[in-house]
A = this chain, B = another copy of it.
């Protein structure tokens, strides 16, 4: 090992600049921990002339990733460029060249994580990815090390800051989805094309990564059932409030032996649940382990410096491993084979909001449908709709299975007395 640890950086966007700053500003701490100074040797950028808030010498900037992944002076490659194809190509070449890799790339890890971790192990290299899930929260490490002795059976994550910001704003200020989304875009909290965030895909990627690791199973992105928040209305949120719940976009990973369910969907949580108090752009991951019980990890899910702390803490781990020559041992293959749960094995409570005809027999027609399927009510609310011969009925059921839920949804919609099923959501976290 040389006298200076040389790092190559693929990408100099929000996270990349944060990494450069953190390495510069924390030299003393880094040296205390790893015994030698760290230097950013080369940085891949898209445009040499772009104005930046970090100062880099002319020769440390390059337009060619090869100058990093093929560079004999570089020990560790940090990939913060995003995207899948090119990032993967660079990481593969870096690993084959014996370089350790730290990545913040959830898209890549969700899709090619298993393959890349194998490749890293074959080459005796570390491949760490703490920053790919929940930014500054050390959740990957907590799952691999902190809760190493436990058997994790459930995880619920608020793992997308944009949607949490939108739902918090809608709830607190009684605003509509479109209105808050526009504000969030203006403030830079939401992308100009917000699809991946608001439709739950970003959260799904993170849940695939968490479930793979937490359950030690090969959970793939396609295994995640996804529903976003774009159909959530302020009316739904008002009823949630009234009934003592808060709506969050929850990534859920649940297992029962080797039978597993992974989903992302708007979910009602009781106000007392630890996740219910996670507001604005903050993230949190709730983890239930058989032995430890309930734990939760809370923090900033994104942002330049928060995400950079996760990247640099991975870098520190790589460097400690290099010092003792023990890299490449962390990519343990999944212990369990997964089987996805069938719909009749997925249990939850459900919220229904129905628009119904305000006449005799309506209530009874609806309740007998639920009775027929043996589903009882936890909460029930009927309210007239002003100026219409219609009413709203809000139902929160006791626990039932997803097959029954879908049957109820379908059958309710077809009832004569029901004008429409306005909305329905999963409810979690109660007794």
Contacts and interface: CB of A to CB of B under 8 A. Distances in A.
Contacts of A157: none
Copies per complex? 2
A316 B26 contact: no
Contact of A317 (B136, B142, B145, B282): B145
Contact of A306 (B278, B291, B296): B291
A282 B33 CA distance: 32
B151 A146 contact: no
B296 A292 contact: no
A331 interface: no
A305 interface: yes
B28 A335 contact: yes
Interface stretch (A113-121, A307-315, A399-407): A307-315
Interface residues of A, number: 58
Interface string A9-49: 00000000010001000101110110000000000000000
Nearest to A274: B298
Nearest to A271: B277
A88 to B, nearest CB: 25
A28 B233 CA distance: 47
A234 interface: no
B297 A292 contact: no
Interface of A: 18, 22, 26, 28-30, 32-33, 130, 136-138, 141-142, 145-151, 216, 272, 274, 277-279, 282, 289-300, 303, 305-306, 308-313, 315-317, 320, 324, 326, 329, 332, 335
26 contacts: A18-B291, A26-B150, A29-B335, A30-B149, A32-B335, A130-B146, A142-B146, A146-B313, A147-B309, A148-B313, A149-B308, A149-B312, A149-B313, A149-B315, A149-B316, A150-B313, A282-B294, A289-B309, A291-B306, A291-B308, A294-B299, A294-B300, A297-B298, A320-B329, A324-B324, A324-B329
